[in-house]
Every structure is written in structure tokens, then in C-alpha cells.
Structure 1
Amino acid sequence: MAITKQYLKAKPLCKVTFAVPAKDAEKVAVAGEFNNWQETELKKQKNGVFKLAVNLPIETSYAFRYVVDGEWTNDQEADRSQWSDFAAAENSIIDL
């Protein structure tokens, strides 16, 4: 899994691209604080990597997790992880 960040010069935003290599998966989504924990589907590329790009406000952090074919999972390459009492699990964190 990978996350790329591209800070926009004209706006206080960062273009964040989530990429999940899962060629055998049917559906990959991301859910987090930036989308009210609603599953947002990533688009499958020809090489089997699922991708989604979103613009997020900078100078904040967001908790998130992936849902791969119904299974919740974290991004091992996230900036850090943090325990969530609500989910009773670790969440991935992205710092912008």
C-alpha cells in the first residue's frame, strides 16, 4: 500500500493519492475522518492497483482504514497508527 502527497501551491490543500495493490480483490474502499467514515471506492487500474485521489486540508491529521473485499485493514506505510476506542482497533493516520 502506498500514499502519495502533493501539496497545492495556490490553495491550503494536499492532493492525497491512496494506492492499494490488490489484483485479486473485487472491491477496495477507504473510510476515514475525511469522509465521515463512509466507504469511498478506489478505482482498479489495469496493473491491479486500486487508486483514489482526494484533496484534503493541510495542517491536520486524519485517521483512516481500507476495506478490501469487506475486510478492514490498515496501511502499513501510513505516517503512523493510533488506537481507536470506538473501533477497538488501530487506525492508520495521515499527517498533512
Structure 2
Amino acid sequence: MLERKPRKDRTEVTFVLPADRPPGPVSVVGDFNDRQPGTHTPRPRNDAKGAVTVGLPSERTHSFRYLAAGDYWFNDEAAGDQDGPNSRLRT
């Protein structure tokens, strides 16, 4: 799930993983972090979901995927759009 908060100079996007996400570490890997695993790692929330917030330039389209342990890649169904194998979001 994605949560967006428009700010004056950017959009804060919170990437939220369900409580039943794959076990082990998960990273948000996208064009906004040079596709580097480990840069944006969701942390547990009180509701057992994992979340990480990233400030992204507004009025742009970004592509991303999640990478879990064991080289398991998966998309965010809430993104609503795909770019080949990637999820896509508009800020």
C-alpha cells in the first residue's frame, strides 16, 4: 500500500508492507535510490505492518519493486500501474 502526503517541495510517499510480507529483510528498490537494496528498508509499525517514508520530487512518475531475502522480487498491488516488471507511482 502507498500513502502520499504532498508537501511544498516534494511528495512524501510511505511504502507500507502487509503484516504477512515475506520473512526477513525487505527493501524498496527504485529509480529514486539508484536501485540500491538496503537504502530504504521498511521498519515494523504498531499494526505489524512494515513502512518506510521517502521524500520524492512531485509531479513525476517513479518505478520501484520490493526485494526480500532470497532474491525474491515482488510488486505493490496498490500502485495501480506497472512499468514492465516494476510497480509505478505518480507523485
Q: Specify the TM-score bucket, using the shorter chain as the normaliser.
A: 0.7 to 0.9
Unmatched segments (≥5 aa) in structure 1 = 84-89
TM-score (structure 1 length as normaliser): 0.81
After TM superposition, give the deviation of residue 22 of structure 1 in Å.
3.6
Name the structure where strand makes up a greater proportion of residues.
1
Q: Is the 8 A contact 1:28 1:50 kept in 2?
A: no
Q: Aligned-pair distance for 1:29?
A: 1.0
- Structure 2 residue identity aligned to 1:81: Q
User: Which structure has the larger Rg over C-alpha atoms?
Assistant: 1
**2:6 maps to what in 1?**
7
Which residue of the partner structure matches residue 32 of structure 1? 30
Percent identity between the aligned chains?
Answer: 29
Runs of 4+ in 1 over 4 A off after TM superposition: none
* TM-score, scaled relative to structure 2: 0.85
**Counterpart code for 2:88:** I
Q: Which residue of 1 aligns with 2:17?
A: 20
Q: Which runs of 5+ in 2 are unaligned?
A: none
1:34-85 deviation digits (Å, cap 9, x = unpaired): 00001221112243211000111111100000112231000011031011xx
Q: Which amino acid aligns with 1:33?
A: D
- The residue correspondences of 1:5-84 to structure 2 (distance < 5 A) are 5-8=4-7, 11-23=8-20, 25-39=23-37, 40-69=40-69, 70-83=71-84
- Looking at structure 1, the residues matched to 4 and 61 of structure 2 have their Cα atoms a distance apart, in angstroms, of 13
Provide the residue aligned with 2:89 in structure 1.
94
Deviation of 1:7 after TM superposition, in Å, equals 0.2
Aligned CA-pair RMSD:
1.5
Equivalent residues, number: 87
